[in-house]
Chain A
């Protein structure tokens, strides 16, 4: 079986990468191949990396409050690059009321603080399975 490949990325300027790194490690421990971009990635850089690395999913983490402009931008740029098969999910300090808008913009799921890692791992597994079917 080909392992699932995930890009974990930090769009925007905030340096809070504890969550991103913990999620990255949990996905890796669950048998996936995980690439972490590091801090301060522009949506363009993230999309380029996602395509180059041929990932199944992109996980975005943002704690600065800039998610409403950055997450949809990544989705849109993937589409423009003809890579809409790469699914995007996100997490961070994100007010509940922002989530419907993000989902509408094409983000598959948004995980807020306190989400069990297992839930995220299962979500990635299920989403990639569905995408392949």
Chain B
């Protein structure tokens, strides 16, 4: 050891001498989280945890949640898609499945995401734009027509009204004759990050957390293989957070969900195995890999030590990854294919369970079919041609990656301690602390781009005269009128007395604090609309008012 330190000191002295004549490209080299990097890492930098001979599939799971990872089964290739009408989205899903995609990921339009029907005044111009418009069970039946729900796994990006959309999915399964126990999939259902980063909230935090724990309780009993929440750092990162902040705020939110469920009387090992996570993969390659490894270790320790989980499955941080949307450039869009490939590679080297690769044209519009295919092919090339999936945690033991993993872990713990001291995630959100931290990072990043401290190829360097943009996908503006017509037809043919009764039952359960899931299922079966169901809940719970700070 002393010998190594001596050699290293000598080596450094020689380097410094050379640097006097040949200075380096930058004064200091840092990651996105401001971690300053050494010139080289050696075994002197290995954290003590490495001495414990960590293996994949064993606590604390730094090296992976399974023993053999992708040697058994590759990650799920899951492209987020959905636009316009249920019919068109249904066709896109069938196309993606025919191209070898192994899971569906449903994008809903914004009115659906905030619990408004397509004929609401605020929905004007938004219907079918960023995803599919779902007003009632009737639309959901069309969305999954001829897709056997016991054969696919379905992820739904839905938060505030997640219970209603999951109820619709369950009723479609019922009608297909599929047992709920065989359903596989995920609802995002992560309201806390909506307040800090994504914006599709409806109700205030307290009733929102109640709805979430109702879902945990109902699914633990009735839909045992469903991932009841996907606790998301993705949007926190997109909003400007650093890698460390992404993990810290996601875990702070996760801690809040677990505490809420325990407070509601649930046993931690009954619901924790169904918690899943969703992270971003940005471009600082090794920091991203280290981030995923650190997140697994942190979560395993939180579940075991803080919440006393006994079941190893409660300690596994299983996660979906999407490549970084905000890293895509509108300039020279084909360069995005390369960015996505590298980001996707970091997610695979970091041990992701499923992956969405962005399409090259997403800084311009919704992706075209050709672009989506290239994005999916990128994953297939990583999986089948590079060999990176053949060995578990191939970077484990790397002086640099292990040291970076430990450093990220340390910094996340410091941030979590701060949030604990504030009284937890909800308090930190209510005070605006988390929002401000994210905004500060976003602004600093933009400043680094403006000063060219951070080069973005094709944007602030290596620019060209841009050619006209390639064919962009557009949503036909007639979609809105057609969707509204369909909604009106539905309302005229359903049994309105039954709908009224079902909605009253939802309101009553909300007032009494009973589990909302059973009455919401009944309301969905009666073809009550999403807007109607969320409407009665708005009356009971009120709406969240954001405090906006700049």
Contact = CB atoms under 8 A, between A and B. Distances in A.
Given A14-B199, A95-B364, A64 B129 contact: yes
Nearest to A12: B126
Contacts of B548: 36-39
B333 to A, nearest CB: 11
Nearest to B124: A69
Among B125, B450, B474, which residue has the most Cβ atoms of chain A within 10 A? B125
Given A26-B446, A114-B459, 7 more contacts: A12-B125, A15-B200, A16-B199, A22-B240, A64-B126, A113-B329, A114-B330
Among B365, B475, B550, which residue has the most Cβ atoms of chain A within 10 A? B550
B468 A118 contact: no
A42 B365 contact: no
B540 interface: no
Interface in A81-133: 93, 95-97, 112-114, 116-118
B426 to A, nearest CB: 19
Interface in B303-344: 326, 329-331
Among A34, A38, A65, which residue has the most Cβ atoms of chain B within 10 A? A65
8 contacts: A15-B194, A15-B200, A16-B238, A21-B443, A38-B546, A65-B130, A69-B125, A114-B329
Given A39-B546, A95-B364, A65 B475 contact: yes
B110 A14 contact: yes
Contacts of B443: 21-22, 25-26
A18 B238 contact: yes
Interface residues of B, number: 44
A16 B325 CA distance: 12
A65 B130 CA distance: 7
A13 B330 contact: no
Contacts of A114: 329-331, 456, 459
Contacts of B129: 64-66
Nearest to A116: B450
A56 to B, nearest CB: 17
Contacts of A17: 199, 239
Interface string B522-550: 00000000000000000000000010101
B547 to A, nearest CB: 8
Interface string B345-380: 000000000000000000111100000000000000
Q: How large is the interface on A (under 10, 10 to 19, 20 to 34, 35 or more residues)?
A: 35 or more
B268 interface: no
Interface of B: 110-111, 113-114, 121-126, 129-130, 194, 197-200, 238-240, 326, 329-331, 363-366, 439, 442-443, 446, 450, 456, 459-460, 468-469, 472, 474-475, 546, 548, 550
Interface string A14-46: 111110011011101000001011111010000
Interface of A: 8, 12-18, 21-22, 24-26, 28, 34, 36-40, 42, 64-66, 68-70, 93, 95-97, 112-114, 116-118
Contacts of A22: 240, 439, 442-443, 446
Given A40-B122, A66-B126, A69-B124, A93 B363 contact: yes
B130 A112 contact: no
Contact of A113 (B330, B439, B450): B330
Contacts of B439: 21-22, 25
A118 B450 contact: yes
A21 to B, nearest CB: 5
A64 B130 contact: yes
Contacts of B114: 13, 40
A116 B364 CA distance: 17
B199 A15 contact: yes
A13 B110 contact: yes
Nearest to A15: B199
Contact of A64 (B110, B194, B239, B331): B110
Contacts of A24: 550
A116 to B, nearest CB: 6
Nearest to B331: A114
A42 B238 contact: no
Contacts of B194: 15
A19 to B, nearest CB: 9
A38 B549 CA distance: 8
Contacts of B200: 13, 15
A93 B130 contact: no
A2 to B, nearest CB: 21
Nearest to B113: A13
Nearest to A38: B548
A17 B130 CA distance: 16
A26 B450 CA distance: 11
B468 A42 contact: no
A21 B440 CA distance: 10
Given A18-B442, A22-B442, A65-B366, A70 B121 contact: no
Contacts of B456: 114
Contacts of B110: 12-14, 64
A90 B449 CA distance: 21
